[in-house]
Amino acid sequence: MTDKSVAVQPAVSDSTGMAYLATVPHRVVTVYLPLAIFLLVLLFPFYWMAITTFKSNEELLNQREFSPFLVYHATLANIEKLLFRTSYPEWLFNTMVVAVSSTCISVASSVLAAYAITRLRFRGAQVTGLLIFLAYLVPPSILFIPLATMVYGLDLYDTNWALILTYPTFLIPFCTWLLMGYFKSIPYELEECALIDGATRLQILWKITLPLAVPGLISAGIFSFTLSWNEFIYALAFISSSENKTVPVGVLTQLVEGDVYHWGSLMAGALLGSLPVALLYSFFVEYYVSSLTGAVKE
């Protein structure tokens, strides 16, 4: 699949196909207008999140005098409340620790597994690869109850370890599958040369395969980080005390108090919690797209 798309893509980018046949007004109606509506709908919630963050309560709750789409008197009160009067900084720290540790564990074990499956070709390698792919199809929603009993049993309840050890269950299948695709695209001849020159297999992995698979490693790493940052159900089920929560769980369970919703600080929490992944995403867009589509195409 990878070879095929590489072979076909240049032909696509060189030629515009039959696009020159369409007139400008025709294109405005059939392409630009629908696309503008799509973008408006897809991006509006973020705009809404952002402007709510900087509004005071009286502005939010008075739609007669203040248009809801504008900010009249910008205020940092919501962010100040979030950072200094809630456990939000601790949640950010926890989420960072959990996401980084589980990403490192997952990428390291996936590299070894993908290398063994694609290059060492032990008996049953094909079947193992397929089983790992099937593991990706097991959703967390049917695992969290038995995992909760295990977490109680192992005395990990309410600790970061409960999350660091369980997140790899959905990260490893994804990363292994992705890296298998990358390893397969590296010419086997390079490794044969190194074998003839007397390199051990681990040296080959470390000095030849891994340097060539760096884009794959980056893809796997940032995607794992994002998935762990977004994870919700395990963090909700395995963590109970406020100071150990992650950002998504903390915002939803600690900032919603009674019947009065403090929309300003809630949206500030959502905005700040989204920023790290949004920043990471903006730097590595191409890697995200290739890992998303690569995993699907394989």
Partner 1 sequence: MAVALGRQAAPRRSFVELLDDRRVLSVLCMLPAVGLLVTFLAYPLGLGVWLGFTDTKIGRPGVFIGIDNYISLFDDSVFLLSVYNTLVYTIVATILKFGLGLWLALLLNNSMPFKAFIRAIVLLPYIIPTVLSALAFWWMYDPQFSVISYVLSKMGLIDRYVDFLGQPNAARASVIAANVWRGIPFVAICLLAGLQTISPSLYEAAALDGANPWQRFRNVTVPMLMPILSVVLTFSVLFTFTDFQLIYAITRGGPLNATHLMATLAFQRAIPGGQMGEGAAIATAMIPFLVFATVFSYYGLQRRKWQQGSADD
Query: What's the angle, vertex CA 41, arms to CA 35 and CA 47, rounded to 5?
Result: 120
**Contacting partner 1 (CB under 8 A), which of 139, 193, 215, 243?**
139
**Contacting partner 1 (CB under 8 A), which of 94, 101, 224, 226?**
226
Q: Does 297 sit near partner 1 (CB under 8 A)?
A: yes
Q: Which of 95, 291, 5 is nearest to 174 (CA)?
A: 291
Nearer to partner 1, 157 or 212 (CB): 157
**Contacting partner 1 (CB under 8 A), which of 83, 236, 242, 254?**
236
Residue 165 to residues 26, 79, 296: CA-CA distances in angstroms? 55, 32, 26
Q: Does 279 sit near partner 1 (CB under 8 A)?
A: no
Write down the least CB distance from residue 262 to partner 1, Å. 11
Question: What binding mask, one character per residue, do residues 16-55 give for partner 1 by CB under 8 A, x or -?
Answer: xxxx-------x---xx-xx--xx-xxx-xx-xx--x---
**Contacting partner 1 (CB under 8 A), which of 74, 108, 127, 193?**
108
Q: Contact at 8 Å (CB) between 78 and 265? A: yes
Q: Does 137 sit near partner 1 (CB under 8 A)?
A: yes
Which range binds partner 1 by CB under 8 A, 79-87, 132-140, 186-194, 207-215?
A: 132-140
Distance CA 163, CA 99 (A): 9
Write down the least CB distance from residue 75 to partner 1, Å. 17
**Contacting partner 1 (CB under 8 A), which of 3, 84, 141, 257?**
141
Q: Does 173 sit near partner 1 (CB under 8 A)?
A: yes
Q: Which of 120, 135, 231 is nearest to 175 (CA)?
A: 135
Report the site for partner 1 in 58-77 (rule: CB under 8 A): 60-61, 63, 68-69
Distance CA 21, CA 245 (A): 57
Q: Contact at 8 Å (CB) between 147 and 234? A: yes
The rounded radius of gyration (Å) of the Cα atoms in the chain is 24
